[in-house]
């Protein structure tokens, strides 16, 4: 029991010693740091004016170095031709009034002050567009040698001229211009961060932190320029950030592009349906509806009004015209293949469509034969033979038929023969016109395939730039 009490007193003694060291050594040290920063802040802000430039001489400018860290590309609005971006604009300069001797303030080497309490370059976005703009309040970081680092976080819409000809496989180049709003180049001299007093180099914009789903940054550069306005004799400096971006096309590839290609490929098969079938018209109307739905989907996903016309819109228009023309031609072919009464096929058309073996061989149609198995050159002769035979037997029937019954029988036989001849002639004419429609279908099928291939090759060349 006695040993346990001594052990407890020993532990309590160590804790008391540590507690005493904390309050005697550490706590006064913290109080000294807080007091030193407080005294430093009061000393720096004494007789300090936030509207006076930190220039050692009136004729010398304040050198401000800039760097843009792009966080994301929020939106590119094709209708308004604006780009909304979120970025951090890093600004650094030297203010001799904010320098101090670290030995006089407890070794404090840096401090942070409110942005409204010190002088800051009034750098604004020169090509800012109307819209929602956000700027965070940042605390400037001040080093003991008077170096100030100020990093505000901004979301700003800017004007950007866009070319949508290659949509959705397009690349856009937008520029964000920064300039001192009320100071000319003789008062504030802009420079690139890390390129002090060097106005000829370019700075690469970091891409590692960029995370966006619709646009991918291909290249980003920052350059310096100057411009002279008519109102003022002095030049004004500009910090220009150029962003080259490409659109991520996964959504548009599967929703807009591939359905358009499929609809274009389906058009030639309209002429593969038999010429006398009414399903040709149903198939053509279905293609028209399919193409209309694709156009409506395209307009719904890309509701913009722009001065440039995308090539894919021209592709849709050509496909729609091709489908409409094919449907009209199919209606004409069905009408000539399914009519009940019509004249014989003209002789020139018979020679071209029915008896020209070379043309039919090229079109893979083979030799044409009618329902009796005769080729197109003998069909007319057969009908003529039937007619001659009928007229040849007519005198015999008249000589044999001496009474009314015989006369009625002969007339009936003659009517039957004429009806059979007429039916065979009508069937042959119908078959001839169907064969003409079949040949027209085959010709238009190959022409349509050729047109689709040319259209797709042209579109691929345009979309590839």
Give the mean model confidence (pLDDT) for residues 32-55. 88
Residue of 149 and 226 predicted with greater confidence: 149
Give the mean model confidence (pLDDT) for residues 18-34. 49
E runs forming strands in 196-294: 203-204, 215-228, 235-247
Number of Cβ within 10 Å of residue 194's Cβ equals 11
Tell me: pLDDT of 419 over 70. no
Q: With a threshold of 0.95, does the pTM exceed it? A: no
Tell me: pLDDT of 340 over 70. no
What is the C-alpha separation between 329 and 270, in angstroms, rounded? Answer: 10
Number of Cβ within 10 Å of residue 131's Cβ equals 14
Confidence at residue 57, expressed as pLDDT on a 0 to 100 scale: 83
What is the C-alpha separation between 458 and 99, in angstroms, rounded? Answer: 66
pLDDT band at 80 (very low <50, low <70, confident <90, very high): confident
Q: What is the dihedral of CA 70, 72, 75, 81, to 10 degrees?
A: 10
Tell me: pLDDT of 438 over 50. yes
Confidence at residue 170, expressed as pLDDT on a 0 to 100 scale: 87
Tell me: pLDDT of 381 over 50. no
Residue of 439 and 6 predicted with greater confidence: 439
Give whole-number Cα distances, 231 to 117, 189, 234, 236, in Å: 32, 20, 9, 12
Which DSSP letter does residue 22 get? I
CB 198 within 8 A of CB 342: no
Is the Cα dihedral 8, 13, 14, 16 positive or negative? positive
pLDDT digits (tens, 9 = 90+) for 245-267: 988 888 888 887 888 888 899 99
What is the C-alpha separation between 406 and 398, in angstroms, rounded? Answer: 9
Report H helices in 22-157: 27-45
CB 390 within 8 A of CB 414: yes
Structure tokens, 238: 């500009």
Confidence at residue 211, expressed as pLDDT on a 0 to 100 scale: 53
For the chain, give the number of residues. Answer: 465
Q: What residue has token string 């020169």?
A: 126
Structure tokens, 305: 């009004």
Closest among 204, 205, 192, 191 to 70, alpha carbons compared: 205
Burial class (CB in 10 A: 0-12, 13-18, 19+), 346: exposed
What is the C-alpha separation between 287 and 297, in angstroms, rounded? Answer: 15
Query: How far is C-alpha 171 from the geometric centre of its chain's CA atoms?
Result: 9
Confidence at residue 18, expressed as pLDDT on a 0 to 100 scale: 45
Give the mean model confidence (pLDDT) for residues 365-390. 48
Give whole-number Cα distances, 211 to 87, 134, 217, 374, in Å: 12, 19, 9, 75
**Upstream peptide bond of 148 is cis (omega within 30 degrees of 0):** no
What is the C-alpha separation between 104 and 331, in angstroms, rounded? Answer: 98
Report helix, strand or coil for 81. Answer: coil
Confidence at residue 20, expressed as pLDDT on a 0 to 100 scale: 43
Confidence at residue 463, expressed as pLDDT on a 0 to 100 scale: 65
CB 316 within 8 A of CB 292: no
Confidence at residue 363, expressed as pLDDT on a 0 to 100 scale: 67
Confidence at residue 421, expressed as pLDDT on a 0 to 100 scale: 64
CB 369 within 8 A of CB 431: no
Averaged pLDDT score across all residues of the chain: 78
Tell me: pLDDT of 360 over 70. no
Confidence at residue 260, expressed as pLDDT on a 0 to 100 scale: 86
What are phi and psi for residue 216, nearest 5 degrees? -115, 130
Q: What residue has token string 């001659």?
A: 388
The listed range with the strongest mean pLDDT (3-12, 111-120, 426-435) is 111-120
Q: What percent of the chain has pLDDT over 70?
A: 71
Structure tokens, 205: 């914009």
What is the C-alpha separation between 119 and 382, in angstroms, rounded? Answer: 110
Tell me: pLDDT of 61 over 80. yes
CB 193 within 8 A of CB 92: yes
Number of Cβ within 10 Å of residue 145's Cβ equals 12
Number of Cβ within 10 Å of residue 383's Cβ equals 16
What are phi and psi for residue 384, nearest 5 degrees? -70, -35
3-state helix, strand, coil in the chain (%, to 5): 45, 25, 30
Confidence at residue 401, expressed as pLDDT on a 0 to 100 scale: 46
Which DSSP letter does residue 24 get? I
Confidence at residue 31, expressed as pLDDT on a 0 to 100 scale: 46
CB 141 within 8 A of CB 149: yes
Instruction: Please name the residues in contact with 206: beta carbons below 8 A apart, sequence gap of 6 or more.
Output: 69, 70, 220
What is the C-alpha separation between 365 and 353, in angstroms, rounded? Answer: 10
Confidence at residue 194, expressed as pLDDT on a 0 to 100 scale: 73
């Amino acid at each position: 029991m006695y040993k346990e009490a001594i052990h407890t007193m020993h532990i309590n003694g160590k804790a008391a010693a540590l507690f005493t060291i904390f309050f005697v050594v550490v706590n006064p040290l913290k109080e000294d740091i807080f007091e030193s920063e407080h005294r430093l802040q009061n000393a720096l802000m004494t007789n300090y004016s936030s509207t006076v430039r930190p220039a050692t001489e009136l004729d010398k400018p304040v050198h401000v170095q800039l760097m843009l860290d792009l966080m994301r590309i929020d939106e590119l609005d094709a209708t308004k031709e604006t780009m909304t971006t979120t970025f951090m604009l890093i600004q650094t300069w030297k203010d001799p009034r904010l320098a101090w001797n670290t030995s006089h303030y407890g070794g404090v080497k840096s401090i942070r002050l409110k942005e409204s309490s010190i002088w800051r370059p009034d750098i604004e976005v020169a090509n800012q567009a109307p819209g929602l703009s956000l700027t965070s309040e940042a605390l400037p970081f001040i080093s003991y040698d008077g170096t100030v680092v100020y990093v505000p976080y901004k979301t700003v819409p800017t004007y950007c001229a866009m070319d949508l000809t290659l949509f959705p496989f397009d690349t856009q180049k937008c520029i964000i211009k920064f300039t001192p709003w009320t100071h000319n180049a003789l008062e504030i001299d802009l420079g690139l961060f890390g390129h002090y007093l060097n106005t000829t180099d370019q700075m690469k914009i970091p891409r590692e932190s960029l995370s966006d789903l619709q646009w991918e940054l291909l290249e980003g550069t920052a350059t310096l320029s100057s411009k002279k306005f008519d109102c003022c004799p002095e030049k004004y400096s500009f910090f220009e950030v150029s962003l080259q971006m490409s659109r991520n096309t996964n959504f548009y590839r599967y929703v807009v592009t591939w359905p358009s290609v499929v609809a274009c490929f389906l058009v030639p098969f309209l002429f593969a349906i038999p010429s006398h079938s009414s399903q040709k018209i149903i198939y053509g109307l279905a293609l028209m509806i399919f193409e209309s739905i694709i156009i409506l989907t395209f307009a719904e996903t890309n509701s913009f009004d722009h001065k440039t016309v995308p090539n894919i819109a021209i592709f849709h228009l050509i496909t729609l015209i091709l489908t409409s023309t094919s449907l009209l031609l199919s209606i004409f072919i069905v009408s000539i293949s399914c009519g009940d009464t019509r004249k014989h096929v003209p002789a020139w058309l018979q020679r071209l469509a029915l008896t020209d073996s070379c043309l039919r061989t090229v079109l893979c149609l083979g030799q044409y034969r009618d329902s009796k198995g005769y080729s197109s050159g003998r069909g007319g002769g057969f009908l003529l033979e039937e007619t001659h035979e009928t007229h040849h037997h007519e005198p015999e029937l008249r000589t044999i038929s001496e009474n009314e019954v015989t006369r009625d029988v002969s007339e009936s036989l003659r009517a039957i023969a004429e009806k059979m001849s007429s039916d065979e002639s009508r069937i042959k004419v119908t078959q001839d016109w169907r064969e003409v429609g079949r040949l027209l279908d085959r010709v238009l099928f190959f022409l349509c395939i050729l047109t689709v291939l040319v259209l797709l090759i042209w579109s691929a060349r345009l979309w590839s730039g």
